[in-house]
Structure 1
Amino acid sequence: ATGGTSVAITGSNFTGATAVKFGASNASSFTVTSATQITATAPSGSGTVDITVVTGGGTSATSANDKYTYIAAPTVSSLG
């Protein structure tokens, strides 16, 4: 939930990407490693969101394959 997770994104036509979004939030950072791969750092968030890539050609369509689920950090409730 606090973000910071590195995520490998595979697709096509990533050259010239200007943004990677996790839901409505921009990735903390991203690197286009090739026309078919981006490594992005998830921002903080909650729930399940779509990851989209923005280029000069537009924003990628959402699908069942682009979901990212935030998981809350564990908490300690007692010690025995």
Structure 2
Amino acid sequence: MAAVLTSLTPSSGPATAFTSVVIAGSGFSGVGPLTVRLGTKATTFTIDSDTQITAISPTGTGTVDVTVTIELDGTSNALPYTYV
């Protein structure tokens, strides 16, 4: 079953990299390899629990979709993150 995203904190940040973004949802731990993307860019992250991931934003512009892909289960729903 794909991960489910429920919120991002914060949901916006600077266009420069290195903002911590907390992703809340479910299905994050014990499921195999994950990829977190902001738009088309994969980023570094830490799985804090089954319901929380902390990702580091890459550089970007505009509003992008944040997704979590589980190798065997597919891609989550998308939540918007806006670079300001």
The one of the two structures with greater contact order (alpha-carbon pairs below 8 A, sep at least 6) is 2
For the pair shown, which has the larger CA radius of gyration, 1 or 2?
1
CA distance in 2, matches of 1:58, 1:17: 11
| Bigger fraction of residues in strand | 2
Gaps of 5+ in 2: 1-14
Matching residue within 12, 18, 34 for 2:34: 18
1:39 aligns with 2:64: no
Query: Which residue matches 1:70?
Result: 83
Aligned residue type for 1:21:
R
Offset of 1:34 from its aligned partner?
0.6
Gaps of 5+ in 1: 72-80
CA distance in 1, matches of 2:53, 2:41: 17
The TM-score normalised by the length of structure 2 is 0.74
Aligned-partner SS, 2:81: strand
The TM-score normalised by the length of structure 1 is 0.77
C-alpha contact 1:17 1:53 (8 A) present in aligned 2: no
Give every structure 1 segment of 4 or more consecutive aligned residues whose post-TM-superposition deviation is greater than 4 Å: none
Offset of 1:17 from its aligned partner?
4.8
